[in-house]
Amino acid sequence: MTKNIAVIRGDGIGPEIVEQALKVLNKIADLYGHTFNYTDVDMGGCAIDKWGNPLPEEMLEKCVESDSVLLGAVGGEKWNNVPGDMRPEKGLLRLRAGMGVYSNNRPAKIWKQLADASPLKKEIVDKGIDFIIVRELIGGIYFGEHTTTEESGEKKAVDVLSYTESEIERIGRIGFETARKRSKRLCSVEKSNVLDSSRLWKSVMHRLAEEYPDVELSDMLVDNCAMQIVKNPSQFDVIVTENMFGDILSDEASMITGSIGMIPSSSLGATSCGLYEPIHGSAPDIAGMDIANPIGTILSAAMMLRYSFDMPKEADAIENAVSAVLDEGFRTADIMSDGCKKVGCSEMGKLIISKLERK
């Protein structure tokens, strides 16, 4: 099978971690008889430096025309003072909108080998942490109108949060369908005691629930959900929520699993062309030092194989290889613990490749 992948190496540690993921994909291609063609795309700070634009239109077109997109990380202090509409993160927002990927699916799973790295108490971790946050990605306050005006001698900033029924329904269906493939429990998170947008969200979710009688739907206010994620994460199977709430909760969830460097994510829309990326940032302070953790990016590539390319065996092979390396005690600096063997970014990639085998 031949697939065309747009590759955004990005900024900071992005090029290093993406390089390891591509090497893993190349090994998978050899083992299973596939061909992966790569097209480099400039986005983020590097695109600002090169083109004066965080995502030039021709770069966006390359992504849209691909079978899927693999992204490292973008941004850094170097570009903190550029105008707001030209920040590296604006390139990412435009990419999501341009690709029409409205659902970000981020697993919060603790690997048994890293259980001791979780900041939660052992008795909480021992109950298990394995849930997915389904976040609406191209609506809400991030994509609403943003204005700063001056009234009565002082500045006033306004950010508009709006959702339509159809926007809520399409992400709600992703939540229900995801729950169907897991333990059939869906928690809808909003702030309906305060926000009109959340009250609409809640009503649409309950209407959809009638179409999914096999899925248990529960409601939870976002502030309570934030507390429950650290108090009793084992209660969750699938969480579905709006853009800003999902942004915050998914970052919180990533930290309870032990390392932000281990967590992949997928962003999908109406087609199989998805955007796959680790959830961590560009970490410019360690860029070029060969100490970054590439596993989140490698697991993102595995998600690409599973969800966009319908290659579950190949995805399983990558995940099993990661688990085997962790079993042998190899760790990058961010997940290092006593008695383990510290390795760098490139060495971790080599170790994972050495464990890949066709089954």
Residues identified as active-site? 142, 191, 223, 247, 251
Angle between helices 57-64 and 88-99 (to 10 degrees): 40
d(CA 243, CA 329): 37
- How far does CA 232 lie from the centroid of its chain? 22
Beta strands in 247-295 (DSSP E): 264-269, 275-278
Q: Which residue has the tokens 């085998």?
A: 357
Exposed, middle or buried by CB within 10 Å (0-12, 13-18, 19+), for 50?
exposed
Task: For the chain, give the number of residues.
Answer: 359
Q: How crowded is residue 25: how many other Cβ atoms within 10 Å of its Cβ?
A: 24
Q: Report yes or no: 182 and 212 within 8 Å, Cβ to Cβ.
A: no
Burial label, 29 (beta-carbon count in 10 A; 0-12, 13-18, 19+): middle
Closest CA to 39 of 20, 57, 64, 56: 64
CB 70 within 8 A of CB 18: yes
Strands 264-269 and 101-109 come out as antiparallel
> Distance of CA 175 to CAs 54, 215, 324, Å?
31, 10, 31
